[in-house]
Amino acid sequence: MTKTFALLGTTALATTLIAGSAFAADPIKLSVGGYGAVMVGYASNDDAFIRQSGREVSAVDVKGDNEIHFKGSTTLDNGLTVAVVYEIESGGRSMADVSDEYSITLSGKFGAIKAGADDNALAMIHSNAPRVGGRLFDGGAVGGDVMVGNYVVKPTNFDDSFFGDTAIDTNGDAESVSYISPSVAGFTFGASYVPNVSAGDDQPGNTLTNNTQVSDAYGAGIGYKGEIGAVSVAADIGWLTADTGNDINNHNEYQAGLNVGYAGFTVGGAYRAVRRDASAVNARDPNANLWEIGASYETGPYGVSLVYISGNQKKTTNIADDKIRSAELAGEYKMGPGVSLVGGIAYVSFDGEGTAATGADNKGWVAATGLSLTF
């Protein structure tokens, strides 16, 4: 895989040199985009869990979710395109992160090479279960406010390391390099390399101290988007392998997604599996599974969707697993270009190693509504 990336970089450089002058007619100029949202929600929590935690939890909450994106690109005289994206948090859930994602992309007839702190190729080609609702619950049924405990409180001992997405998003916002091929008959190939999911300015910094760290990760996948008559189809499969902590012999992840649409209706689902071999004798392999299934219908400015999610994470030393179950019903009304009124209800159950009275389990409902903006 390393040789593949080296070959891709050499090919791109050779293309630039052979084509001659690489000067652009105009320098890169940045445009401003992004999204904004504010939601008001009501949530319930298990009484036994709240009593055990020894704290009060507000039933009604206000949550923001806002980012400003600076984007720009230029096409060089040799036909290559260089594009940049910088994303800045501007209020809401992640106010501690000033700038959390960036990328620089070189593209041409050979495809695109993208490097930076952003989604890897497997996430870029992935198809989640269909959903409407804009930035409701942080913009996603999987990995959104409901599943991460921002309305219904997540138990502190709950290990949700691999419940973020059915896409293989192992690198998070860590820096990586990816290649996306041109589309051929609707099929696209993608590949990524991640030096270290937890590394920052002190690269390479790839010393592994526990089972949650991942280093030297290689991933590849194939996606498809096309139409068969009046039916639209989106699908993908992907695989990633990596090094991890000393208690794990190997680390592999798999993803798959499928959406089928017709006359405003879309049905589909996605699956992700984490397979790891524990090195200790008689220890359980800390595997994880996450799947989602859903359906949506959109007509004119109106849309409605229903998504169900189920996931479990095994522990190496205990018989019990961490389990999560969630269901979301969402709706939206497009009031105008880039402005949507959204709302929905969701249920989530966190089932850890123990009971609500011991602080390991919690469950509850949440209802929220607000404005979701894109610009």
Mean pLDDT of 81-93: 86
pLDDT for residue 219:
96
Task: Give the span between the Cα atoms of 86 and 69, in whole angstroms.
Answer: 6
pLDDT for residue 215:
77
Q: Is CATH 2.60.120.10 correct for 2-201+211-374?
A: no
Q: Cβ(248)–Cβ(275) under 8 Å?
A: no
Whether the pLDDT of residue 318 is over 80: the answer is: no
pLDDT digits (tens, 9 = 90+) for 217-253: 999 999 999 999 999 999 999 999 988 766 677 889 9
Listed range (103-117, 193-207, 254-268) with the worst mean pLDDT: 193-207
Whether the pLDDT of residue 94 is over 90: the answer is: no
Task: Give the span between the Cα atoms of 35 and 338, in whole angstroms.
Answer: 9
Place 5 in a pLDDT band, splitting at 50, 70 and 90: very low
Residue spans of the domains in the chain: they are: 2-201+211-374
Mean pLDDT of 136-164: 84
How many Cβ atoms from other residues are within 10 Å of residue 268's Cβ? 23
Mean pLDDT of 25-49: 91
Listed range (185-194, 233-242, 275-284, 330-339) with the worst mean pLDDT: 275-284
pTM (2 d.p.): 0.87
User: With pLDDT > 90 as the criterion, what percentage of the chain qualifies?
Assistant: 57
Mean pLDDT of 44-65: 86
Tokens of 264: 């405003």
Judging by DSSP bridges, how do beta strands 176-180 and 111-117 pair with one another?
antiparallel
Strand ranges in the chain using DSSP code E only, listed in sequence order:
31-43, 60-75, 81-92, 99-108, 111-117, 176-180, 187-196, 215-228, 231-243, 248-262, 265-278, 288-299, 302-313, 322-336, 339-351, 361-374
For the chain, the average pLDDT equals: 85
Mean pLDDT of 48-71: 87
Q: Cβ(342)–Cβ(133) under 8 Å?
A: yes
Residue 41's Cα: distance from chain center in Å?
23
Whether the pLDDT of residue 80 is over 80: the answer is: yes
Q: Cβ(171)–Cβ(120) under 8 Å?
A: yes
Whether the pLDDT of residue 31 is over 60: the answer is: yes
Place 326 in a pLDDT band, splitting at 50, 70 and 90: very high
Mean pLDDT of 260-274: 97
Q: Cβ(255)–Cβ(236) under 8 Å?
A: yes
pLDDT for residue 361:
87
Whether the pLDDT of residue 10 is over 50: the answer is: no
Mean pLDDT of 314-326: 77
pLDDT for residue 13:
45
pLDDT for residue 331:
98
pLDDT for residue 58:
85
Place 164 in a pLDDT band, splitting at 50, 70 and 90: confident
Q: Which residues have a Cβ under 8 Å from the Cβ of 172 and sit 6 or more positions away?
A: 164, 197
Whether the pLDDT of residue 43 is over 70: the answer is: yes
pLDDT digits (tens, 9 = 90+) for 335-375: 999 999 999 999 999 988 766 667 778 999 999 999 999 99
